[in-house]
Structure 1
Amino acid sequence: MTDGRRSIRLGVTGATGRMGREVLAAASDRPAFEVVLAVARSPPDEPIEAVEIESADAFDRLVADREPHVVVDFTAPVSTATYADACADAGVAFVTGTTGLDDSHERRLRAASERIPLLRAANFSRGIAVLDALCARAVRSLPDYDIELVETHHAGKRDAPSGTALSLLETVESERDASERVHGRVGDSPRDADEIGVHSIRAGAIAGEHEVVLAGDHEELRLTHRAGDRGVFAAGALDAAAWLAGRDPGRYAFAEVIET
C-alpha cells in the first residue's frame, strides 16, 4: 500500500463535470494528494485553478506517462469502461462512481480488476453505507411489512433508478425472497404483498436523497439519507483512492474502506 507519508499521485477523469470538479476541489484540500492528470471530453467553461484540463482522447498516453497511483472516475458507462481498460494496461488503480453500467461494461471492469485493484461504488457516502446495513436489519426484523423506496436527484441525472437505489434494492431482495420491483403506479394498481415499490424523482439541483419505507398495519419505519452537497461523495471517493492505491489486483467494495 502507498506510504501515507508520500504524496498519492492522482488522476481525475470527467474533470469538468459536476463530480470531477468536486474531486479536484477536495484533492486540493488534502496535502496527501497530488493531481498529476485531469482529463475531460469537453473543455471547462472557465479555468480550474492550479489544474490543467487535458483532452480525454489522450488518456491512454497520459496515464502511462504521468504514472498516477490511482485514477478517480465519475463519467459515463462507455467512458468508464474505456478508462478502466487503459488503467489496467498501465497498471494503475481505478476508483469509479459511475452508475448505469450494463453487462458489457461490467465485464470489462471485471477483466480490468484481474490486473489492477479496482473499486466501484454506486455511492461514496459513509452515511449511505450505514443506511444499507440498517436497511438489511430492518427487512430481516420486519418480514411482513410493505417496502417502498423513493430516490430524488437533480434534473440532469440520466439513470433511473439511481445506482444507490439499485444497490439498496439488492440489499432488500437479499433479505426477502420472491419480491417483485414495481416502478411507479398508475390507474387501478392495488399493492401486492410481495412488491417493492420504486419511485424516482428528478428536480432542480438536489444532490441526492434516498428513503426506504417499511409499513405495517399500525406503524411505519422510514430510513432516510440526504446528501446536502456533492462534496461528501468526492471525499469518500478520495478516501477510497487512498485506501486502494498499492493494493493487489482485485475487485474491492467501499464497505471495506469504511470498515478499516
Structure 2
Amino acid sequence: MGEPTRFLIHGASGRMGRALLRLCAEGEAGDCNVVAAVSRRPAQRVVDGVPHFAATELAGVPAFDVAVDFSLPEGFDPLLALCRQRGAALVSGTTGLSDGQRQAMADAAAAIPVLWAANFSLGVAVLEELVERAAASLAGWDCDIVETHHVHKKDAPSGTALALGAAAGLGGADARYASLRAGDVVGEHLVQFTGMGERVELVHRATNRDVFARGALHVAARLRGREAGVWRLRDLL
C-alpha cells in the first residue's frame, strides 16, 4: 500500500466542503489524509484533527498532493497559482468562473493535472459516455433532455444537462432542453432519443448530495501522480 493522498480542501465551510471533510473523517472516502481545510473565515483552527486556514493564509498550508476546490470564483486564482507553484493536482467544481479563469486553468494544465466538472457523480460521468454513444448510433433521432431539481435551484438548464447536451453533440445530435423545479429533488436527468415507433431513455437520479463529494474524492485520489493535462471524470473511473 502506498501513502494516502494528501488533500487540501478549498472552500471548506461550504456545503460541498463540509461533506468532503465529513466523508474523510468517517472513513467513507478510503485512505485519505486531509492536511488542510481552507475557508474565508474559519471558526476554529483545528477540527477533528484537521488544521483550518483562512484564505489569506493559503501560502502557508502544508504540502499536499491534490487540492479539491468547491469555493467561489474570487478565491480560485490564488489556489490555481499555489497548485502550479507546488506542482500539485487540482480538482475543481467551482462554478461561475470567467473566461480568463478558464483559460488560466487550461494554461496551468501544461504543468499540472487539472480536472474541472459541473457534476462529480460517477454515474453522470458514465451517462455522458452512454449519451455520446447513443447519439452517434441513432443518427437523425430527436434528442431531448429533461432535468429536475429542487425549487431553490436558479439556473436552467442545469450545468449537468448542458454537459449531457454537449456529449450528445459530440455524437452528432442536437439536444433540446426542458427544466422542472419541484420539491426537494436533489437531481434527476433524463436523456431521451426518439425515432419512428421507438424511444430510448437514459436516466440518472441522485438521491443524496454525498454522491458528488464521494465522486470528487474518488477522482482526486486517482489524479495524484498523473501527467499534466486536462482530465475528465470518465478518464479516472
Q: Shorter-normalised TM-score: what interval?
A: 0.7 to 0.9
Decide which of 108, 131, 135 is 1:135's aligned counterpart.
131
Q: What does residue range 243-254 of structure 1 map to in structure 2 within 5 Å?
A: 243-254=222-233
Gaps of 5+ in 1: 180-195
Relative contact order: is structure 1 or structure 2 higher (C-alpha 8 Å, sep ≥ 6)? 1
Q: Which moved more, 1:221-230 or 1:210-219?
A: 210-219
Residue in 2 aligned with 1:186? none
Relative to the length of structure 1, the TM-score reads 0.79
Gaps of 5+ in 2: none
Q: Which moved more, 1:155-164 or 1:247-256?
A: 155-164
Residue in 2 aligned with 1:183? none
In the TM superposition, what whole-angstrom CA distance separates every residue of 1:153-205 from its partner, at most 9, and x where no partner exists? 3445454433322221111112226x4xxxxxxxxxxxxxxxx3212334444
* Identical amino acids, percent of aligned pairs: 40
| Distance in 2 (alpha carbons) for counterparts of 1:250 and 1:166 | 23
2:126/2:234 contact within 8 Å kept: no
Q: Which moved more, 1:222-231 or 1:161-170?
A: 161-170
In the TM superposition, what whole-angstrom CA distance separates every residue of 1:60-109 from its partner, at most 9, and x where no partner exists? 332xxx01111111123343344222211222211112234342221011
| Distance in 2 (alpha carbons) for counterparts of 1:69 and 1:6 | 11
1:118/1:252 contact within 8 Å kept: yes
Aligned-partner SS, 1:53:
strand
| Distance in 2 (alpha carbons) for counterparts of 1:200 and 1:98 | 22
Say yes or no: does 1:19 pair with 2:16.
Answer: yes
| Distance in 2 (alpha carbons) for counterparts of 1:217 and 1:147 | 13
Q: What does residue range 100-179 of structure 1 map to in structure 2 within 5 Å?
A: 100-157=96-153, 159-176=155-172, 179=174
| Distance in 2 (alpha carbons) for counterparts of 1:240 and 1:43 | 26
Moved over 6 A (4+): none
| Distance in 1 (alpha carbons) for counterparts of 2:204 and 2:96 | 21
| Distance in 1 (alpha carbons) for counterparts of 2:162 and 2:108 | 23
Say yes or no: does 1:35 pair with 2:34.
Answer: yes
Q: For residue 186 of structure 2, what is the amino acid of its counterpart?
A: A
